[in-house]
Amino acid sequence: MPVSDHDLTQAWRQVLTLSKLEPGQTVTVLTGAATHPQTLRTAQMAATAMGAIVNRLDLPPVNADKALSRDALAYLGTTPLTGNPAAIAALKASDLVLDLMTLLFSPEQHEILSGGTKILLAVEPPEVLVRLVPTEGDRTRVKAATARLARAREMHITSDAGTDLRCALGEFPAISEYGFVDEPGRWDHWPSGFVLTWPDEGGTNGRIVLDRGDILLPMKSYVQAPIDITVGKGYVTRIEGGLDAELLSDYMASFNDPEAYAMSHIGWGLQPRARWSTLAMYDREATIGMDARAFEGNFLCSFGPNNEAGGSRTTACHIDIPVRHCTVRLDGEAVVEQGKLLDHEYQQERQEQQEQQRDARGAIHA
């Protein structure tokens, strides 16, 4: 169902409050050709109502001669900020940037964040934003998982489909994505709800076997038949299978870049309100697939760049793969068991909250 301006404005107010927006601060809304007009309209209304000084910076699209689709994540080359010092200066002078354009994996973004400006990306359809508006509880859960991941020195991922992958850890930090920006210099994505890191360079070996129902992004397609991916010393060395494997191979080969085959981030989904099935309900150009990335218990692996974590790899190819039914172990201890999260304290707390809500509803009806 579509959402009203009122509902989306209220969602923005919640996110901006969690992001500690204060009266008198400067908010710049970054927009492009694909920005959703309702998201833009309600973002401006919410920020203005909270006393912010609101500006809009609209930039033209780039990379049209190279990208294989309209998806902003299908080609991570230059950005509209590349060679545009005036635009960069405006964003650096802001307390908060609301990115409704998709500015990712770029040195310009790092430059803006380094000055203390906060950046919040929000490009999913309005109804997805409202359904997955973040909460303080999301932050608590994700931060707990991040602390556990930060201590680990190996991630071992297995599945009944045949996945058996070992990733050495420690070279790069663990990253939290919970949907709002509550610290200076923080970047986040509404919606989200997952934890990730990057394996040590050259430290990933084994197999990733994608089974029917796993998801390829930015293709935004459900795998129909198994894809067997071999990884050695941090790089994909072989992709085997049927049509889906051929499509994945051809897409990666189109970048003509050996770094496209490198392991990028790895982690797992923690968002109980995100759904694996949602991608089937949208036109491919309407969404970038955040439900798929965040749904609870998926193993999210990626190929391509690592410059978001401080690495030097800036390949234009970036592929995210949410994989179902995996077991994820950190230094031998399972944190996800066949696609089910094992953060028992959170699960118990959520069950108690649901029981209290049922009791309250029952009391009202009585």
| 34 lies in the same domain as 175 | no
| 83 lies in the same domain as 154 | no
Look at residue 73 in the predicted model and tell me its pLDDT.
Answer: 75
Is residue 310 within 8 A of residue 302, CB to CB? The reply is no
Q: What is the mean pLDDT of the chain?
A: 92
Query: Which residues of the chain form beta strands (DSSP E)?
Result: 26-31, 53-58, 96-99, 118-121, 154-159, 164-168, 175-177, 187-189, 194-197, 204-210, 215-216, 221-222, 227-232, 235-241, 263-269, 299-303, 319-323, 326-330, 333-337, 340-341
Task: Please give the DSSP secondary-structure letter assigned to residue 199.
Answer: P
Average pLDDT, integer, range 31-47: 97
Domain count, the chain: 2
| 170 lies in the same domain as 262 | yes
Whether 359 shows a pLDDT value over 70: the answer reads no
| 121 lies in the same domain as 153 | no
Look at residue 195 in the predicted model and tell me its pLDDT.
Answer: 98
Instruction: Indicate the pLDDT class of residue 95, thresholds 50, 70 and 90.
Output: very high
| 235 lies in the same domain as 331 | yes
In a domain, 238, yes or no: yes
* 199-254 confidence digits (pLDDT tens): 999 999 999 999 999 999 999 999 999 999 999 999 999 999 999 999 999 999 99
Average pLDDT, integer, range 115-132: 97
Look at residue 352 in the predicted model and tell me its pLDDT.
Answer: 58
Whether 348 shows a pLDDT value over 60: the answer reads no
Angstrom CA distances, 319 to 220, 263, 264, 284, 289, stand at: 10, 10, 9, 15, 12
Instruction: Indicate the pLDDT class of residue 5, thresholds 50, 70 and 90.
Output: very high
- Alpha carbon distance 202, 204 (integer Å): 6
For residue 355, the surrounding DSSP H or E stretch is helix 344-365
- Alpha carbon distance 19, 183 (integer Å): 8
Average pLDDT, integer, range 27-42: 96
Look at residue 105 in the predicted model and tell me its pLDDT.
Answer: 74
Look at residue 240 in the predicted model and tell me its pLDDT.
Answer: 98
* 71-87 confidence digits (pLDDT tens): 777 777 778 899 999 99
Look at residue 346 in the predicted model and tell me its pLDDT.
Answer: 63
Task: Please give the DSSP secondary-structure letter assigned to residue 162.
Answer: S
- Alpha carbon distance 46, 93 (integer Å): 20
Whether 30 shows a pLDDT value over 90: the answer reads yes
- Percent of the chain clearing pLDDT 70 (strictly above): 93
Average pLDDT, integer, range 122-145: 97
Task: List the domain range (segments joined by +) for residue 123.
Answer: 5-131
Angstrom CA distances, 197 to 15, 147, 169, 272, stand at: 24, 11, 8, 21
- Alpha carbon distance 322, 270 (integer Å): 12
Average pLDDT, integer, range 38-56: 98
Amino acid at 50: M
Instruction: Indicate the pLDDT class of residue 347, thresholds 50, 70 and 90.
Output: low
Phi, psi (deg, nearest 5) at residue 144: -65, -45
Look at residue 44 in the predicted model and tell me its pLDDT.
Answer: 98
| 34 lies in the same domain as 106 | yes
| 194 lies in the same domain as 319 | yes
Average pLDDT, integer, range 100-126: 93
Rounded to a whole number of angstroms, the CA Rg of the chain reads 20
Instruction: Indicate the pLDDT class of residue 353, thresholds 50, 70 and 90.
Output: low
Specify the length of the chain in residues: 366
- Alpha carbon distance 25, 146 (integer Å): 30
| 206 lies in the same domain as 84 | no
In a domain, 361, yes or no: no
In a domain, 206, yes or no: yes
Report the 10 Å Cβ neighbour count for 156: 18
Look at residue 192 in the predicted model and tell me its pLDDT.
Answer: 97
In a domain, 356, yes or no: no
Which tokens sit at 355? 């029981």
Is residue 189 within 8 A of residue 121, CB to CB? The reply is yes
Average pLDDT, integer, range 284-306: 95
- Alpha carbon distance 226, 214 (integer Å): 9
Angstrom CA distances, 27 to 6, 104, 285, 295, 365, stand at: 20, 19, 28, 30, 44
